[in-house]
Amino acid sequence: MKNKVNMRELFLEMQQEMIMRLNLIRNQVKHAPTKGNAVELNWIEFLGTYLPNRYCVDTAFIVDNTGSCSDQIDLVIYDQQYSPFVFCHSGVKYIPAESVYAIFEIKQTLNKQHIIYAAEKAESVRNLERTSISIIHAGGTYPARPVFEIVAGIITTSSDWTSAFEMPFHEAMSALTSMQRLSIGCILETGSFLQNSDNVFEFSSKEESLIFFFIKLFIQLQNMGTVPAMDIDLYSRALDSI
- Tell me the C-alpha distance between 206 and 82, whole Å: 38
Residues with Cβ within 8 Å of residue 58, at least 6 apart in sequence: 44, 75, 76, 78, 93, 95
Contact 71, 104 (CB under 8 A): no
Per-residue CA distances from 194 to 17, 149, 160, 210 (Å): 23, 15, 19, 12
> Active-site residue numbers?
74, 105, 107
Amino acid at 86: V
- Tell me the C-alpha distance between 113 and 116, whole Å: 5
Per-residue CA distances from 48 to 54, 76, 195, 219 (Å): 10, 11, 23, 16
- Tell me the C-alpha distance between 221 and 103, whole Å: 12
